[in-house]
Amino acid sequence: MPHGLTRSLITPQVLIPSLSRATGCLIYAKCEHLNPCGSSKDRVAKNILLQALASGQLRPGQTVVEGTSGSTGISLARFCGALGLRCLVVMPDDQAEEKRQLLRMFGATVELVRPASIVNPRHYVNVARARAKELGGFFVDQFENALNDQAHFAGTAREIWRDLDGHLDAFVCSAGTGGLVSGVGRFVKQQQQQRGGVHNGGVRVVLADPTGSSLMHAVNDGVCFAPEQRERLARRHRVDSLVEGVGCDRVTANFARALPCIDQAVKVEDARVVKMARHLVREGFFVGSSSALNCVAAFDVAKALGPGHTIVTVFCSGGERESSKLYR
């Protein structure tokens, strides 16, 4: 096994001073953008690849194939290089150019496709699945693979809980595949049950959703539908938002695991995401659009709960891989 790949991935948790002062709460961010490959997807990619190699599903020299908006592909490409595996990434052609450059730099073959609905054979996930079959490769299947959720349950969630000694009132996070919010959500709810509740009200798990995504309605209304995707209104398939990597037009297997844990979902408009990203960079946090979206929602949750509460959200990835779109 190449040196370092068996080590645990552990990231710090930092207080966001300005948001904490403005709300009278303690608002922390779990710094997943400080993982070796720059995002929370490191945990997922590493867990899936090592488990697949151990079980024989993935063999040395085989091609690893995945459909991704970028971050999972970047993590897979770097780990595949270390493991002597080839990597093919299929992604929508409207994602930030920086992601394509990183993927190619780390040795991945990149196939770009037009954004399409999941029912369309040309949707990037469907194309990736087809390519894996054609090549006799290993299809990662991050949206449906339970090892995604398990990576965050075993790692991210335990680190958050340990760092705060269980003193947590709300966890706020967006969802793309659903693995992060599911893994952490399931863990904190499990801890809450074992301890008989935290701060009397228990831990609230809140989903932050971008414009055009269907997931907020799946949580709040039980129907996976977004008004922005009505016929003749949608500007593009999946989500009408500048936020990359989160939001979805369907309930994936990983998000289905999260649904029983989520207490509330909130919508965050693009304008607030951009404003928050530019505010955070002045405070020294250079983060991507999903991270900024998480912080907007965490701020709103803190205001709603009132002073004296502790809220944790996630810096999913850094701003360098979206700078041409988010900070231009």
Look up residue 62 and give its two tokens: 């085989």
Instruction: Write the pLDDT tens digit of every residue in 133-143.
Output: 999 999 999 99
CA 47 to chain centre: 15
What CATH number does the domain located at 41-139 have? 3.40.50.1100
DSSP 199: T
User: What span, in angstroms and rounded, lies between the C-alpha atoms of 173 and 178?
Assistant: 10
Per-residue pLDDT of the chain (328 residues; tens, 9 = 90+): 444 565 678 999 999 999 999 999 999 999 999 999 999 999 999 999 999 999 999 999 899 999 998 899 999 999 999 999 999 999 999 998 999 999 999 999 999 999 988 889 999 999 999 999 999 999 999 999 999 999 999 999 999 999 999 999 999 999 999 999 999 999 999 998 877 644 445 899 999 999 989 999 999 988 876 665 554 444 444 456 889 889 988 899 999 999 999 999 999 999 999 999 999 999 999 999 999 999 999 999 999 999 999 999 999 999 999 888 888 7
User: What span, in angstroms and rounded, lies between the C-alpha atoms of 121 and 231?
Assistant: 20
- CA torsion, ordered 218, 221, 222, 226, to nearest 10 deg: -40
Q: Where are the beta strands (DSSP E) in 211-274?
A: 264-268
Q: What is the pLDDT of residue 236?
A: 45
DSSP track, 135-190: HT-EE--TTT-HHHHHHIIIIIHHHHHHHTTT--SEEEEE-SSSHHHHHHHHHHHH
Q: Where are the domains of the chain?
A: 13-35+156-326, 41-139
Q: Where are the alpha helices (DSSP H) in the chain?
A: 17-23, 41-55, 71-83, 97-105, 124-135, 146-151, 157-163, 179-195, 215-220, 253-258, 270-282, 289-305, 323-326
Look up residue 167 and give its two tokens: 């003193």
User: What span, in angstroms and rounded, lies between the C-alpha atoms of 212 and 311?
Assistant: 26
Task: Judge whether 13-35+156-326 and 41-139 match in fold.
Answer: yes
User: What span, in angstroms and rounded, lies between the C-alpha atoms of 300 and 250?
Assistant: 25
The domain over range 13-35+156-326 is classified in CATH as 3.40.50.150? no
Q: What is the pLDDT of residue 223?
A: 81
Which residues, in sequence order, are CB contacts of 108 under 8 Å at separation 6+? 73, 76, 77, 80, 87, 88, 89
